Structure 1
Amino acid sequence: MHDNQPRTITPDALPEVITRYLTAHHSHDTATAIAVFTDDATVIDDGNTYQGTAAIERWLDRTATEFTYTIHLAGAQQTDPAHYIATHHLEGNFPGGTVDLRYQFTLNNDFIEHLAIEP
């Protein structure tokens, strides 16, 4: 029986492609981060949609410089073999100062096809 409810997994059980993206994103390594997306990938962040690698690359470059913050991987979940959630706790100089964000990944053949980031 599949009820599509996410189940908790350890952060080190996240697929390697997600870990590679998160590490690259946190270290502002745009070239490595963009390489894990499919050509027609979609990212949804802060109410905006970024379609395709060129738009995602611009988003990555902007988010790397917009605010200063620390980020901690607080938890991970898996819904099915293609859907994962990585919850991050951020503290920094952005409005509100602290937030927990859910990075919701959809994978396709070891690439990220869709990423939605929301509280």
Structure 2
Amino acid sequence: MNSYQPQDLAPDALPEVINRYLDAHRAHDTATALSTFHSHATVTDEGKTHRGAPAIETWLTRAAGEYTYTIELTGAQKVDTDHYIATHHLEGNFPGGVVDLRYRFALSDGLIQDLVIEP
């Protein structure tokens, strides 16, 4: 496989660490979500990059409380053994009210090294 030909997956076929993160994120369980990241990981969301565990913890806490929304996993793809995409449909009280977001995961040593969230 190469980065130009992602392979569709059943959402439950995503790596365990990604499913653990997604479940914890939906449940607003910051401690469990944070445990899925390398201590020096990065998260890019809304055009801002958060580096390292303290910054990611702050981002997770802020993201959990800023808006009320529903999130549904609508698709999953494997790019290669360390890169996956999880597509989510969100509806809520954020600007625009409805959005489909791609969560692009890069894994290393069984943990999330990088996460980029974008439309």
TM over 0.5: yes
The answer to whether the 8 Å contact 2:2/2:79 transfers is: no
| Structure-2 residue corresponding to 1:25 | 25
Normalization by structure 2: what TM-score?
Answer: 0.97
Counterpart in the other structure of 2:105 = 105
Structure 2, unaligned stretches of length 5 or more? Answer: none
Unaligned runs of 5+ in 1: none
8 Å contact 2:2–2:80 — kept in the other structure?
Answer: no
Identity %: 62
Determine the C-alpha separation between the residues in 2 that align with 1:103 and 1:10: 15
Q: Which amino acid aligns with 1:110?
A: G
- Tell me the residue number matched to 2:76: 76
The alpha carbon displacement at 1:7 in A equals 1.1
Aligned CA RMSD, in angstroms, stands at 0.7
Contact 2:24-2:33 within 8 A present in 1 as well:
yes
Residue 70 of structure 1: CA displacement?
A: 0.3
Tell me which stretches of 4 or more aligned residues in structure 1 moved more than 6 Å.
none
Once residues 8 and 53 of structure 1 are traced to their aligned partners in structure 2, the CA distance between those partners, rounded to angstroms, is 30
Q: What's the secondary structure of 1:32's corresponding residue?
A: helix
- What's the CA shift for 1:3? 3.4
In structure 1, the partner of 2:57 is 57
> Aligned partners of 1:68, 1:44: CA distance in 2, in Å?
20
Deviations along 1:8-51, one digit per CA (max 9) or x if unpaired, are 11101000000000000110000000001001100000000000
Query: Secondary structure at the residue paired with 2:95?
Result: coil
Count of residue correspondences: 118
When normalised by structure 1's length, the TM-score is: 0.97
Alignment deviations for residues 55-107 of structure 1 (CA, whole Å, 9 cap, x no partner): 00000000000000000000000000000000000000001110000000000
Report the counterpart of residue 3 of structure 1 in structure 2. 2
